[in-house]
Chain A
Amino acid sequence: MRITDSFRFRVVTENLNRSRERMTDLQEQLATGKRINRPSDNPEAISNAMKLRSILETNFQFQENIQDGITQLTAQEEALNQIYEILAQVKEITLEGASDSVTVKSSLAQQLELILDNILEIANTKFNGKYIFGGTETLNKPFTLNENVIKFNLDEPVVDYRGNLGKWNRQINENTTIEVNLNGKEVFDQAAGDGVNIFQLIFDLKRLMELEDTKGINAKIEDVDKGIEQVLKSFLKIGTRKQLVLFNEDRFMTQNIQIRATMSNLEDTDFAEAFIAFKAEENALNSALSAGARVISPSLLDFLGAV
């Protein structure tokens, strides 16, 4: 083959160009830390990486939902714990009042009145600006005291429930939503079912104490136990849900670590490999340069001077 000058120059420039292009590519990989920087670099890997990123983002949101769920469940748990302790106190007072030997029942009645206020306050707990026992009626006080019933000892409900039976749902994974609230009816008023209305129970006890009706008080002991059981059940319900939520949190944490590892494999520059490739390319470029310099320079002209 006849090798002409433009041929030689073209080969040299093209070798240099190609080498420089590969070096620029490697340099970008090293500088950005990413093996693929735009979809056309590797459409398949980008598509997989984007899918994984989607999952990661969604998981992140579920984790946020879980965190929020835990906060709400904890708030309810704490309130229920307080109520449980108070009811234990009520039981003590009831047992004391049920005994004939105790004659200071009026002071017990006073205690019960304070307890009623106390429990009402807990039932109207506001957390993060929301009444936690009002169902989805979160902006209005769920329980209101009928002052007149207390004042005139009327045979009417002592406390009204203004909330609803609405649920606070939190999505904790793709398929599961979980209720993170118990409404006031469920916790405090199961009189329609096999439970009791706790407010009413305490009010009734207070009245019996005032009347010094020992027999009547004795008859209520069972109801107090029912009330305690009712709160305990609620407490357990919340606990179980909290466990389920925490389990999901762990699951996402493990899953995310795996996804990040896969994404890193797809997207991230293998620095050792890239550096070695870069070094190799640098050598290739140097060789191309020095070979080019040698190919271009000699010409017959260099030797004609001697003729």
Chain B
Amino acid sequence: MSGFGIRTAFDIARKSLRAQLAGLNVTGNNIANVNTKGFSRQEVTLVSDFPIITPDGIFGSGVKLEGVRRIRDKLVDRQLRNEMHTKGKNEALERVLNQIETTFNEPSETGLRVLLSQFFDNFHALANDPENATTRFNLRESSKVLIESFYRIDKQSRVLSDDIDFELRRSVETLNSLTAQIAELNSQIVAVEGASKGGANDLRDQRDRVLDDISELIDIFPLEKPNGTVDVAAQAQTLVTSNFSFELEVVTKSENDNLISEIIVSETGNIFEANNGKIFALVQARNEIIPHFRDLLNELANGLITKVNDIHRTGVGLQGTALEIPKNNDFFTGDSAANIDLSQAIKDDVNAIAAASRVDTLLENGQIVTSGSPGDNKIALEIANLKLMRVLSNGTESLIDFFDSIIGEVGIAAKEAHDNVLNEERIITQFQNIRDSTSGVSLDEEFVNLIKYQRGFQAGARLITTIDDMFETLINM
């Protein structure tokens, strides 16, 4: 048939109704998903249908529904994901460093620092009254509390390390489930899009959301293939290729005195190293940060043990004169925060604490008798003065300075991580706003569309009744 006629008019009206109804559906879907995370608004693509060419001229043949597309800016997605890695990393680091800060519990009236200071002050008290049993008991008790404090920090840092490992394992499990979801979505998208011309908008939204989630965990390079699937790689390791995902797992190793965690690819056993994101931060915290602070604490404990012992060995306890002096007259035993302890002699008897210097007398029979006098406080004074002596870090820091440096280091690192998190949050908000501005649903806009399509539908319906009237006119002629 050529030319235009009433039938053509009916056809145009029919197509119009269909197109307006599709528009209404899409609008309804947008409104319904206004609060759905990761949803991109959709719109119907309407084009004017192929024109009809008649001898009288070229006539439009109404509207054609070409499909439904989602509005999305892939560049913003990429930028946003880049920031997500960094945010994921800094958030995890901040949490870990805050926990380390809590472990040290400074500044505080009951922290290690105050106890260390009191320990030396009690040697002054001993020096002031070396014969007094009470000052000796005080000194022993304060030493015990100091030792407990070392144990507590050491134990808490090991517990923290285990907690981090637990969180790492959970994150890797999450990652595995996310990559598996990508693989699943890949095959669904191919199935849907292969069957119809229209894009699998909602599945793609879901996949983009999963990619966002992965980005918080590790740094990834998603690459979309022409067939609609996305391959995901992190560093040199492929995690997803079309509908197959590679699982990762965490293995624990022991290094020096510390337990460390490594991530391996389950299938190949190759070591997987993240460069950014939460998983990277957790590995770094467990394998480097915690061991680093434990090392520092051990250095402090060891410094305390050796320096005090060096002096204490040259003294004698309050044991009267001419008594056999134990050969190894140590104050502390052990060499680290985990095993520092009082020597057995001092545990047994406070009078074994040496305040006096040792006098060796050679007897006529060749025997050497060591003795000290009860009022002598030379050794006690020397140990008390250790408090201010720069005996660590190549003679630049006292024991207390050294501890202050540890606290300073934790504080600076925690502050830096916190500032970075704030910064990243602002950047991410910016990008999210940009993304929302493109892909987000505006209810006002949808209400306008609602009315637009309603009016369109009303007009299309009016067209039909008008044509119907015209038909009736013709029939009644």
Question: Which residues of A line the B interface, CB within 8 A?
Answer: 1-7, 10-11, 14, 38-43, 46-47, 49-51, 53-54, 57-58, 60-61, 64-65, 68, 128-130, 134-139, 164, 166, 168-171, 174, 177, 299-301, 304, 307
Contacts and interface: CB of A to CB of B under 8 A. Distances in A.
Contact of B388 (A1, A6, A130, A174): A174
A68 B132 CA distance: 14
Given A4-B437, A6-B436, A139-B374, A40 B447 contact: no
Nearest to B406: A39
Contacts of A58: 117, 387-388
- Sorted from nearest, which 3 A-B pairs have the closest CB atoms? A39-B411, A4-B440, A138-B375
A168 B377 contact: yes
Most buried by B among A51, A57, A301: A57
Given A40-B101, A164-B373, A2 B107 contact: no
Contact of A300 (B407, B408, B441, B448): B448
Contacts of B378: 169
B393 to A, nearest CB: 15
Nearest to B426: A14
Contacts of A68: 128-129
Contact of B442 (A4, A43, A64): A4
B422 to A, nearest CB: 9
Contacts of B436: 4, 6-7, 10
B443 A136 contact: no
Contact of B356 (A40, A49, A136, A307): A136
Given A3-B437, A58-B387, A129-B132, A40 B127 contact: no
17 contacts: A2-B442, A5-B441, A10-B433, A10-B436, A39-B407, A40-B98, A40-B411, A41-B411, A43-B408, A47-B408, A51-B404, A134-B375, A166-B376, A169-B377, A169-B378, A170-B128, A299-B443
A64 B124 contact: yes
A3 B125 CA distance: 72
A60 B121 CA distance: 9
A47 B404 contact: yes
B292 interface: no
B443 A39 contact: no
Contacts of B209: none
B411 A46 contact: yes
Interface string B396-439: 00001000100110111011001000000000010011001110
Nearest to B376: A136
Contacts of B120: 61
Interface of B: 34-35, 97-98, 101, 106-107, 113-114, 117, 120-121, 124-125, 127-129, 131-132, 356, 373-378, 381, 384-385, 387-388, 400, 404, 407-408, 410-412, 414-415, 418, 429, 432-433, 436-438, 440-445, 447-448, 451
Contacts of B438: 2
Contacts of A139: 131, 374-375
Nearest to B443: A5
Contacts of B101: 38-40
B437 A138 contact: no
A139 B132 CA distance: 11
A299 B408 CA distance: 52
A201 to B, nearest CB: 27
A60 to B, nearest CB: 8
Nearest to A11: B433
Contacts of A174: 388
Most buried by B among A51, A64, A68, A300: A300
A47 B411 CA distance: 9
B411 A43 contact: yes
A170 B129 CA distance: 10
Most buried by B among A40, A54, A134, A135: A40
Nearest to A60: B121
B429 A10 contact: yes
Given A4-B440, A139-B375, 12 more contacts: A2-B438, A3-B442, A4-B445, A7-B433, A39-B412, A42-B415, A47-B407, A47-B408, A54-B117, A61-B120, A136-B377, A166-B373
A40 B418 contact: yes
Nearest to B410: A39
Nearest to B36: A6
Nearest to B374: A139
A130 B375 contact: yes
A6 B113 contact: no
Contact of A61 (B121, B375, B442, B445): B121
A166 to B, nearest CB: 6
A301 B107 contact: no
B131 A7 contact: no
B84 to A, nearest CB: 16
Nearest to A53: B107
Nearest to A50: B404
Contacts of A300: 443-444, 447-448
Contact of A54 (B35, B374, B400, B447): B400
Contacts of A46: 107, 407-408, 411
A137 B377 contact: no
A174 B376 CA distance: 20
Nearest to B377: A169
Nearest to B434: A1
Nearest to A72: B128
A7 B444 contact: no
B215 to A, nearest CB: 19
Given A5-B443, A40-B418, A65-B124, A171 B373 contact: no
B256 to A, nearest CB: 26
A120 B444 CA distance: 107
Contacts of A304: 447, 451
B382 to A, nearest CB: 10
A61 B124 contact: yes
B96 to A, nearest CB: 12
A136 B375 contact: yes
Nearest to A54: B400
A189 to B, nearest CB: 19
A171 B107 contact: no
B407 A171 contact: no
Contacts of B127: 65, 169-171
Given A54-B117, A301-B443, A169 B381 contact: yes
Contacts of A164: 373
A130 B131 contact: yes
A184 to B, nearest CB: 12
